[in-house]
Amino acid sequence: MTKSLTRTHDPAARSFVESAGRPGGDFPIQNLPFGVFARRGRNEAERIGVAIGDQIVDLNRAAGQGLLAALEPEIQSALAARTLNPLLSMGRPAGRLVRERLFDLLCEDGPSRGQVVDCLVPMETAELMLPAVIGDYSDFYASIHHATNVGSMFRPENPLLPNYKYVPIGYHGRSSSIVVSGAPVKRPMGQIKGDQTTAPVFGPSRSLDYECEIGALISGGNPRGTEIPIGEAEQHIFGLSLLNDWSARDIQAWEYQPLGPFLAKNFATTVSPWVITMDALAPFRVPAYDRPADDPDPLPYLFSEADRRSGGVGITVEVYLRTSRMRADGIAATRLSQASFATMYWTLAQLVTHHASNGCNLRPGDLIGSGTISGPAKDNRGCLLELTWRGNEPLTLPTGEVRRFLLDGDEVSIRGYCEREGAVRIGFGECRGVIETA
């Protein structure tokens, strides 16, 4: 595991950008996540940037200054694009070279400091965009705690279906409605059928929920008809973001049989704007889920010793809720849950390998959702369906307000970070959305 660590992970490294050294910050020099932004009110084309402290390095400008001239021309032209897709199509090594170059430029004793300062844009003046044109989006169900909780609400006698421990369960989502953090989310309309009636009505969802997830952005990809062996799967993941798979539980309950989620989930999916590279996450790798002895082994195509040893990622995810009344009264968002991505039953590599195992081609810019991240404890539950047990155990907020599901004006914010002794903490930023009236 340690062999993948380079100078870019050195906990002693510091940037001359002062805010990058602030304890508890998300974007120290060891992180360097990629995103796409434009300065507000400038009418300028969007460009690729890398976050450092409370600043963004404008890579377009950096290239113009000749600061990236050490990189091969193909990488330089990929960095001049308006999305990460050209860089994603070059595979992970290209991203790693950019990361290493930026690390050197941003180090406190780095060369060309004056020119680098000239490329910094304060994050608060920037509008952050979706980092890539997302071609296809698939969402999994990789938390056994989530699957068991949801299963026991609907099938108390038989919570986990017999396929769960063999097949990484997933469905094809929709990319057209993926939005970046901050975009409002309109309450969906749909067919809803009450327990006591036989016919549904069409109206606004009354069981609107969030799902706290991690999203993996695909780089490289595979030609149709070929597979991605598990040993190569992580080479096809550029990096990770936070993801909120907004879900209308009442629409879902009526429509999901027999083909799975459809309109209950495809009205909006929010992602955080910064892509935390797999290289930045190297110090935080952990073993895959420790399957109890009586669980089946993964089928051979889903197993590698390296993946078992370090296929997990130690990301802590937290969900915060702030109602419109809390905002009006100046009350801080309240934390609803905290969970660890390390508790997922399936690793990211297993999800990627399984997805391509039938010859399905993944393409650079595709997005793969992990599924709701829930852990074993009650405050590890990553959606309201679980937290309120289908609305039967409502939450009471600091204002005295009560929630079973989301009401209009509610703001849901997901945060994520990695911490480990001997490494500098890195964070994911924020994945936020406010519910608007239907």
Where does this chain bind Mn ion (CB under 5 A)?
Answer: 139, 211, 245
Q: Based on CB atoms, which residue is closest to Mn ion, 139 or 386?
A: 139
- DSSP label at 15? B
Q: Based on CB atoms, which residue is closest to Mn ion, 139 or 255?
A: 139
Q: Based on CB atoms, which residue is closest to Mn ion, 249 or 432?
A: 249
Tokens of 316: 């802590």
Q: CA 94 to CA 87: how far, in whole Å?
A: 7
Residue 140: CB minimum distance to Mn ion, A:
8
Residue 211: CB minimum distance to Mn ion, A:
4
Question: DSSP string spanning 367-425?
Answer: EEE------SSGGG--SHHHHTTTTTS-EE-TTS-EESS--TT-EEEEEEEE--TTS--
Q: CA 400 to CA 378: how far, in whole Å?
A: 21
Residue 41: CB minimum distance to Mn ion, A:
36
Contact of 249 with 209, CB cutoff 8 Å: yes
Radius of gyration of the chain (CA): 22
Q: Based on CB atoms, which residue is closest to Mn ion, 245 or 366?
A: 245
> Three-state SS for 344?
coil
Residue 244: CB minimum distance to Mn ion, A:
9
Q: CA 426 to CA 416: how far, in whole Å?
A: 9
Task: Select which of 9, 146, 236, 355 is catalytic.
Answer: 146
Q: Which residue has its beta carbon closest to Mn ion?
A: 245
Q: Based on CB atoms, which residue is closest to Mn ion, 136 or 245?
A: 245
Please list, in sequence order, all residues whose beta carbon lies within 8 angstroms of the beta carbon of residue 360, skipping any fewer than 6 positions away. Answer: 224
Q: Would residue 354 show up in a list of annotated catalytic residues for this protein?
A: no
Residue 224: CB minimum distance to Mn ion, A:
26
The 3-state secondary structure of 23-66, one letter per residue: CCCCCCCCCCCEEEEEECCCCCCCEEEEEECCEEEEHHHHHHCC
154 CB burial (10 A radius; 0-12, 13-18, 19+): exposed
- Residues with catalytic annotation? 146
